[in-house]
Amino acid sequence: MHEFGTVIAIKESLIQVEIPRSKRCRGCHACTPLNGKDSMTLFALNDCQAAIGDQVQIQIQESGELSASLLLYGIPLAVFLISLVLFALFLPEIPALLLSFLILSLAYLAIHFLSKRLNRERYMPRAVLILPFVK
C-alpha cells in the first residue's frame, strides 16, 4: 500500500510525515490524528533521505500489517477464548470470565514486553521516494 505525505520532522533514522486520512486507515490507530480528521502523522523509516518539507511516497508492507494485526488482536483473542473455555469447565461463569480477562491482560502485557525484542523495522512504514514538488 502506498500513501503520500509531507515530511514535518526528522528524528534520527525516522521521519514524521503528515498524510491525508484515507478510508482504509480510519480504524487503525497507528497514526496520530492532527487537528481533526482530515490528516494524520506517522513515523516512517527514511530510506530516501528526505528532508523537512519534502513530499514523499510512503510504502506500508501488507505482510507486516497482517502480522501486526495478528499479534495485537488474534493472539490475545485466542488466549482469552481458550482460558474462558478452560476456566468455565471448573468454575462458575462470573469467576471464569473475570479470570479470563485477567489472563487477557497478562497476554497484552507479555506482548508489550516481547514486542521490544521484535524487529520493528518489519512493521514500520518506509519513505521510499521523494516526489517532485508541483505548484
pLDDT, tens digit (0-9, with 9 covering 90-100), for 13-56: 888 888 877 666 666 655 555 555 577 788 888 888 888 888 88
Q: What is the mean pLDDT of residues 91-118?
A: 89
Q: Which pLDDT belongs to residue 24?
A: 62
Taking the CA atoms of 20, 24, 26 and 29 in sequence, report the sign of the dihedral they define: negative
Q: What is the mean pLDDT of residues 67-78?
A: 85
Q: Which pLDDT belongs to residue 34?
A: 53
Q: Enter the C-alpha cell of residue 87.
A: 476456566
Q: Which pLDDT belongs to residue 135?
A: 43
pTM of the predicted model, to two decimals?
A: 0.57
Percent of the chain with pLDDT over 90: 27
Q: Which pLDDT belongs to residue 79?
A: 94
Q: Look at residue 60 and tell me whether its pLDDT is greater than 90.
A: no
Q: Which pLDDT belongs to residue 33?
A: 54
Q: What tens digit of pLDDT does each residue of 107-124 get? A: 999 988 887 776 666 667
- C-alpha distances (whole Å) from 20 to each of 4, 14, 39, 45, 104 are 8, 19, 4, 18, 34
Q: Which pLDDT belongs to residue 122?
A: 66
Residues 6+ apart with CB under 8 A from 87: 95, 96, 97, 99, 100
